[in-house]
Structure 1
């Protein structure tokens, strides 16, 4: 059984620095003795660096120095109002700056959700920095030749709601944050309803304050109403009217949820939801990469782990991505989107084999 960091343990691991003019908070976990290498872990939405609580002690035990930043807008990191601070390019620049500050010239990079999308772009913007990459749940989505708004992408229509102003305004305070996260993390109403239908421009405006944030997170993390209803879905969005009735998420302990609420209260929901307002900016910045879909291949080894029950990012979205990699390993776990927490032993086993198994990254680099 994989051990995990408790909220009390992780508090002592946080460091603070300034990267490209903005404050960043990050977890730094050092192994005993000289590190074999350094691995950066990049979280997504709605999450924080503590989302890697099952992976950090495991990877440290393998001799790796582990760095897990709170990404822009989250936890102890700055939360500027402008969306341009939340782009893939900005994240890549900040990750490269953090590696330089720590004093390393090469890093392994892992990501989940938005963090998964980020790691592919970091490997494109800074290929000389990255020695190996893994992404959990997020497949490689190629840079587009034309901008496509979210309304044209059925699996991502929920992002329209997250990009709008109402959700942010309504999820304010510890209890609302708790409800929101519980709904996102699988919580349900007493009737068994989910909290996430994921659409509309109202989400940000409604998630204001600790109580609303708690409700929102509970819904995102699998909490349900007393009737067993879930609170979100990919085509419609987050069912805000059910948020106050969502139960606890089955994926976090009360202490862990308390810690999440505390960290989300630092900045509220505007920063985290800003990641959903960057589509057109990301498209324009991607043009700098001069991506050729016929010839481009990542040179460093990659691992992709899909969640078979992930409705937002189903493994089928990864079909055909092999053409863009010189070395790609693919695996699956029987989980929803929250694979890091639902099946940590299996996820960690994939990562260990990818890095240290026969023919793995470390063997190949010797």
Structure 2
């Protein structure tokens, strides 16, 4: 599908950075010198920022939206370790180098938020401000993350399952791409206890979706067609580096000093952080009345929250 027909989404270019090719969408090129980088989550696409891109460009930003490695037309390295947090953050630093920027505002959702938090830990000089959606800062646990999650949530937790049973979920999602994505991108469904089994496999196999769709059929087709090209293994490989990332971050200062905005969805199943201000002392927090897919469920409210926060005192955040 030609995405230029969908809400005037920009055309992409392939940029060679950090040993891979990254598909990058741009808007507001006339606003050179004021970059903002938008980082998608899983299983998503740069297209998830379609509502924010034109508004940010109109507000004076050079908007840079990558399909991160493993997604869209970007490279899909075969080695699992090439999706660790060093590679993912180095990609973003190299994108800044490509455009000639020392630093930028970074915005992340879901897995993209995790990359942005870690961008501030591993490349603090490249980060001006942070806006993250859905996923708060994850404090490093005493034991490796997958072991920690397995002890709390069991072997059916999809983070654990992706690591302990490699390839099983990938194959089922690949066989049910459209059904999985249509079942996943929903809103306004009652919070019922999860069924036994692995949630993502259950979603891929469910014949009847729950709740209301968050996208039109044309919008949904962009995601479906992208994953028909890539399959799911390359993006799931991000999860297969969680314990490696745990090792990488062992001796990294865990405090993020950058001005930050955390946007929660009140109906999201991801819990709010109880220690966010301890680890991100210059953070402001807001919540929107939506689920996990914040910028797609409540696009106008999300865009307004981002622009309002960036405009506070010429972008300097007041710490309330």
- Structures share a fold, TM > 0.5? yes
Alpha-carbon deviation of 1:324?
1.9
Q: Which residue of structure 2 aligns with residue 19 of structure 1?
A: 17
Q: Distance in 2 between matches of 1:188 and 1:340?
A: 15
Alpha-carbon deviation of 1:178?
1.1
- 1:1-366 to structure 2, matched below 5 A, reads 7=6, 9-10=8-9, 12-31=10-29, 33-35=30-32, 37-148=34-145, 149=147, 150-154=149-153, 157-163=157-163, 164-172=166-174, 176-186=176-186, 197=195, 199-200=197-198, 232=199, 237-239=200-202, 242-246=205-209, 250-289=213-252, 291=253, 297-311=255-269, 313-315=270-272, 318-358=273-313, 360-361=315-316
Normalized per residue, which structure has more helix? 2
TM-score, normalised to structure 1, is: 0.77
Alpha-carbon deviation of 1:109?
0.2
Q: Distance in 2 between matches of 1:335 and 1:193?
A: 13
CA contact (8 A) 1:49 1:70 kept: yes
Alpha-carbon deviation of 1:187?
7.9
Cα–Cα, structure 1 residues 307 and 24, in superposed 2: closer, same or farther, change >3 Å?
A: same
SS of the residue corresponding to residue 171 of structure 1 reads helix
Q: Distance in 1 between matches of 2:223 and 2:54?
A: 19
Q: Distance in 2 between matches of 1:28 and 1:319?
A: 36
User: Structure 1, residues 130-159: CA drift from partner, whole Å, max 9, x if none?
Assistant: 110010011111233431423124399232
Residue segments in structure 1 that go unaligned for 5+ positions in a row: 201-231
**What is the number of residues matched between the two proteins?**
312
More relative contact order, 1 or 2 (CA 8 Å, 6+ apart):
2
Normalized per residue, which structure has more strand? 1
CA contact (8 A) 1:198 1:238 kept: no
User: Structure 1, residues 63-99: CA drift from partner, whole Å, max 9, x if none?
Assistant: 1011111112111111122221212221111100010
Residue segments in structure 2 that go unaligned for 5+ positions in a row: none
Q: How large is the RMSD of aligned CA atoms in angstroms?
A: 3.0
